């Protein structure tokens, strides 16, 4: 059965699904509630994602193109080939060449009337290089002008933002975080008291608030200059947004971070702690046990004690371990135990 994990209270924006167990390829699908749209973090073995779910994926965030993080590209391509909505792929500095190479592996004489467009974003420290591939000209590469990367921000939509942090895994690797700035809940009691019926207009109201309001640095909701002219159609006629605030409950939005395949260096660890700070959920690797630290250094992976300590230092609410070396398949509990001991501070860092 296909279950969507809806954590905390209902009506969260981000609904995530872990695709494989910790010994399979790491991959997270996040469905945006009420949007018929999903986001995918890493693109390894995605055979467990049904075709109709792949069709909803608009943005894919690839950490790096080792085969366990990128082999699923063909399956996505097959599913979205006739789709009019573009597919956006974000990844490390070589992602454009990797997507290009995949596309060059097929013969494309029959797709000229297909609408599909693939936009690829290669994330570096301060710049994002871009390219576009269009089915109508047989996926020839079209390089677009680069954009500056500021404050790690790669996507800023009214509903959410995505940040990227370049790290090292022997090769460049990218960590991601997705955040909803603030979350809007409907106060059902107030709604009824005011004589409003529920309906699609509430979704419209939420969208307008996301568009015309923002959270300031003290987490207070502020109106943008243009907001006072905006009205929303309700079952009782048109209202200004401010007139409807009493039926809303605004809370801080969620932050989900995703960090895979990282060398166990101090530089990486410091960057990760800053980057994932305050996450509601951190998806992270714990590839080796600390007793195999030499191997971890050689293979450029984190150890369980480091992962636990990152979660503690960054005050992460929930830590989900996704990527564990197959050498521990007989006893994964040892890995989880080391993570938890380190996270609670009872493990001495060696
Ligand atoms: Zn790797
Ligand atoms: Zn990996």
The pLDDT assigned to 5 comes to 45
Check: CB of residue 128 under 8 Å from CB of residue 88. no
For ligand 1, the distance from its centroid to the CA atom of residue 61, given in whole angstroms, is 14
Backbone angles phi, psi at 220, to 5 degrees: -110, 135
The pLDDT assigned to 38 comes to 97
pLDDT in tens, 71-82: 999 999 999 999
Asked if pLDDT for residue 347 goes beyond 70, the answer is yes
Tell me the ligand closest to 285's alpha carbon: 2
DSSP 7-72: -SSTT-SEEEEE-S-TTS---EEEEETTTTEEEEE--S--TTS-HHHHTTEEEEE-S--SHHHHTT
The residue ranking higher by pLDDT, 188 or 311, is 311
Tell me the ligand closest to 23's alpha carbon: 2
pLDDT level of residue 44 (50, 70, 90 thresholds): very high
Check: CB of residue 37 under 8 Å from CB of residue 56. yes
CA dihedral for 6, 65, 269, 216, sign (positive or negative): negative
Q: What SS3 class is residue 345?
A: coil
For ligand 2, the distance from its centroid to the CA atom of residue 269, given in whole angstroms, is 17
Asked if pLDDT for residue 8 goes beyond 60, the answer is no
For ligand 2, the distance from its centroid to the CA atom of residue 44, given in whole angstroms, is 9
Check: CB of residue 261 under 8 Å from CB of residue 247. no
Check: CB of residue 318 under 8 Å from CB of residue 282. yes
Which tokens in the block code for residue 304? 């369980």
For ligand 2, the distance from its centroid to the CA atom of residue 144, given in whole angstroms, is 30
CA distances from 150 to 59, 86, 154, 262, 271 (A): 20, 24, 8, 22, 16
Please tell me the distance from the alpha carbon of residue 181 to that of residue 177, in angstroms, as a whole number.
12
Ligand 2 being an ion, which residues bring their Cβ within 5 A of it? 68, 261
DSSP 257-284: EEE-S----HHHHHHHHHHHTT-SEEEE
Specify the pairing of strand 117-123 against strand 127-134.
antiparallel
Tell me the ligand closest to 170's alpha carbon: 1
The pLDDT assigned to 15 comes to 95
- What is the pLDDT of the chain when averaged over all its residues? 92
Backbone angles phi, psi at 262, to 5 degrees: -135, 135
pLDDT level of residue 349 (50, 70, 90 thresholds): low
Q: State what percent of residues in the chain have pLDDT above 70.
A: 95
The pLDDT assigned to 299 comes to 98
For ligand 2, the distance from its centroid to the CA atom of residue 217, given in whole angstroms, is 36
For ligand 2, the distance from its centroid to the CA atom of residue 260, given in whole angstroms, is 7
For ligand 1, the distance from its centroid to the CA atom of residue 268, given in whole angstroms, is 15
The pLDDT assigned to 334 comes to 97
Please tell me the distance from the alpha carbon of residue 15 to that of residue 32, in angstroms, as a whole number.
6
The pLDDT assigned to 11 comes to 67
Radius of gyration of the chain (CA): 22
Specify the pairing of strand 182-186 against strand 281-284.
unpaired
Please tell me the distance from the alpha carbon of residue 113 to that of residue 136, in angstroms, as a whole number.
6
pLDDT level of residue 264 (50, 70, 90 thresholds): very high
Please tell me the distance from the alpha carbon of residue 232 to that of residue 346, in angstroms, as a whole number.
54
Asked if pLDDT for residue 117 goes beyond 60, the answer is yes
Tell me the ligand closest to 323's alpha carbon: 2
Residues, the chain, total? 350
Provide mean pLDDT across the span 104-125. 96
Provide mean pLDDT across the span 22-49. 96
pLDDT in tens, 81-97: 999 999 999 999 999 99
Asked if pLDDT for residue 217 goes beyond 80, the answer is no
Tell me the ligand closest to 42's alpha carbon: 2
For ligand 2, the distance from its centroid to the CA atom of residue 66, given in whole angstroms, is 7
For ligand 1, the distance from its centroid to the CA atom of residue 226, given in whole angstroms, is 46
Please tell me the distance from the alpha carbon of residue 96 to that of residue 185, in angstroms, as a whole number.
40
- Picking from 5-9, 99-103, 245-249, 272-276, which range would have the lowest pLDDT averaged per residue? 5-9
Please tell me the distance from the alpha carbon of residue 173 to that of residue 167, in angstroms, as a whole number.
5
For ligand 1, the distance from its centroid to the CA atom of residue 333, given in whole angstroms, is 23
pLDDT level of residue 199 (50, 70, 90 thresholds): confident
For ligand 2, the distance from its centroid to the CA atom of residue 25, given in whole angstroms, is 7
- Picking from 36-40, 149-153, 188-192, 281-285, which range would have the lowest pLDDT averaged per residue? 188-192
Answering whether pTM is above 0.85, one says yes
């Amino acid at each position: 059965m296909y279950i969507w994990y809806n954590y905390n209270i209902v009506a969260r924006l981000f609904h995530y699904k872990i695709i494989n167990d910790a010994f399979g390829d790491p991959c997270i699908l996040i469905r945006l509630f009420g949007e018929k749209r999903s986001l995918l973090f890493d693109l390894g073995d995605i055979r467990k994602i049904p075709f109709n779910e792949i069709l909803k994926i608009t943005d894919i965030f690839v950490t790096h193109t080792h085969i366990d993080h990128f082999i699923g590209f063909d399956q996505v391509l097959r599913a979205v080939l006739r789709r009019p909505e573009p597919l956006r792929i974000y990844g490390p500095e070589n992602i454009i060449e990797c997507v290009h190479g995949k596309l060059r592996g097929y013969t494309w004489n029959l797709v000229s009337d297909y609408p599909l467009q693939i936009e690829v974003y290669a994330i570096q420290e301060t710049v994002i290089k871009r390219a576009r591939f269009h089915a109508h000209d047989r996926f020839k590469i079209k390089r677009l002008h680069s954009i500056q990367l500021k404050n790690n921000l790669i996507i800023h939509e009214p509903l959410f933002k995505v940040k990227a942090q370049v790290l090292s895994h022997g090769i460049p690797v990218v960590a991601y975080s997705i955040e909803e700035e603030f979350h809007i809940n409907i106060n059902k009691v107030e709604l009824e008291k005011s004589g409003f019926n529920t309906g699609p207009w509430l979704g419209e109201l939420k969208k307008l608030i996301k568009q015309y309001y923002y959270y300031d640095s003290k987490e207070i909701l502020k109106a943008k200059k243009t907001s006072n002219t905006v009205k929303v159609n309700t079952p009782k006629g048109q209202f200004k947004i401010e007139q409807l605030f009493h039926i809303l409950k605004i809370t801080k939005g969620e932050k989900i971070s995703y960090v895979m395949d990282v060398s166990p260096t101090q530089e990486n660890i410091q960057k990760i702690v800053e980057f994932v700070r305050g996450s509601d959920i951190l998806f992270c690797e714990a590839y080796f046990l600390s007793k195999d630290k030499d191997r971890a250094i050689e293979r450029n992976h984190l150890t369980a004690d480091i992962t636990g300590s990152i979660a503690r230092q960054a005050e992460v609410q929930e830590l989900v371990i996704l990527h564990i070396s197959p050498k521990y398949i007989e006893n994964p509990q040892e890995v989880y135990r080391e993570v938890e001991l380190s996270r609670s501070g009872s493990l001495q860092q060696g």
